[in-house]
Amino acid sequence: MDIIKSKEKGNLVVISGPSGAGKDSIVDNLKNYYSNFWLSVSMTTRDPRGQEKNGVDYFFASKEEFENRIKENQFLEYAIYNDNYYGTPKDKILDQLNEGKDVILVIEIQGALKIKEILPETIFIFILPPSMSELRKRLVTRGTDDIDKIVNRFKRAYQEINEVTKYNYVVVNDDLNDATKKVASILSAEKCRVDRIEEVYLNNMEEELHELLIEKEFINKDKEI
């Protein structure tokens, strides 16, 4: 038996950052360094990009369907970004946490700050690009947006970076593997927090050793007197 019993419930983890910072790439790579997590799939009203698949990358929905789900209180959080809705469905999140898995949400900063209000114990990780010039290059070369959207994303990035102090951790994605290892280290370290301890166990032998040490300490003090 281990000397401590820790809480079995997983941690809720929010990962945010400007478009082009590499949030999705880091999470895709994370399974190579940390396996005990479940990635929550967000819902959005924007159109799929490239090879994105419904139910894998996002749940794609119409504006009407999304707004109906809002009325039915089916989202943990939701926000509007570039004229589209983005939201985190509540389904399955609690079940995964209770099974001991960390649940990762890759969401926009608006939604992250809403979660911080209602679930402040959540772990918040902010992903940054190594420079703004590198961010511009990434937005242009991925070829998924027209020039107007790229300009809007770049402008918004300046605003979003100002929110970094509201997060617990910041990781600069200058090298994908290095950045992923840092995120994995954060998740592992959070499992070792003292506030996760539920109970400390000492067996009979350890208790006897403790008593002998105390007895020896008193005997030595008596000799000094």
pLDDT of 225 higher than 50: no
70 in Cβ contact with 165 (< 8 Å): no
3-state per-residue secondary structure call for 149-194: HHHHHHHHHHHHHCCHHHCCEEEECCCHHHHHHHHHHHHHHHCCCH
The most confident of 95-99, 140-144, 178-182, by mean pLDDT:
178-182
Structural domain boundaries of the chain? 4-40+101-199, 41-91
Residue pLDDT, tens place only, 87-133 = 989 888 888 999 999 999 999 888 899 899 989 999 999 999 999 99
**CATH 3.30.63.10 for the 41-91 domain, yes or no:** yes
Give the class (CATH, top level) of 4-40+101-199. Answer: alpha beta
